[in-house]
Amino acid sequence: MGWTTEEFGESHEGIVGAVLDDGSEPKPAYFDIGSDAELYRTSEWWAYDGSMGRPRAAAVRASCACGWRGPSTPVAWDGPAGDGLEDLDVSAQRRDWDGHIRTVERRTVPLPADLAALLAALEDKLIPLAEDAPAAALRAAAALDRLSRR
């Protein structure tokens, strides 16, 4: 379960990734959850505890789907819980990723102020409409979809 923003979605999904002793990232870990033909795939830090033949993470860092990586922080495997997993505070990695997203936002092409205001006003109208008259809100969304395809 990664971090995403509404604007950038999966293209800038962030996770707390594992870092090995040599500074590299391990290959994705695969899990058979037994309910599907596909295997669950992850590169999140918690999958790299040294069990089931997987390497043990020496450190963690914020990682973004775009390729950006934050600074590494060592994992204390000898913490009070004894496994490094229960004690890991990932708030610093979240802050690193949030900073990355702010940088991405600053680099994107801004909307003209009048268009941004118009979109905000449209959102203010559509949200209550969706609650009061969902079919009308869907009709409005369909009209916007048609407009965007043109």
pLDDT tens digit sequence for 26-46:
998 888 777 666 777 888 888
Give 93's pLDDT tier (boundaries 50, 70, 90): very high
Region 116-123 average pLDDT: 90
- Strands lying side by side in the sheet with 73-74: 14-19, 59-64, 73-74
Extract the tokens encoding 32: 């058979």
Region 91-120 average pLDDT: 92
Extract the tokens encoding 8: 């950038």
Closest to 57 in 3D by CA, of 91, 96, 85: 85
Extract the tokens encoding 90: 């990932």
Note the pLDDT tens digit of each residue in 60-79.
999 999 999 999 999 877 75
Stated pTM of the model? 0.68
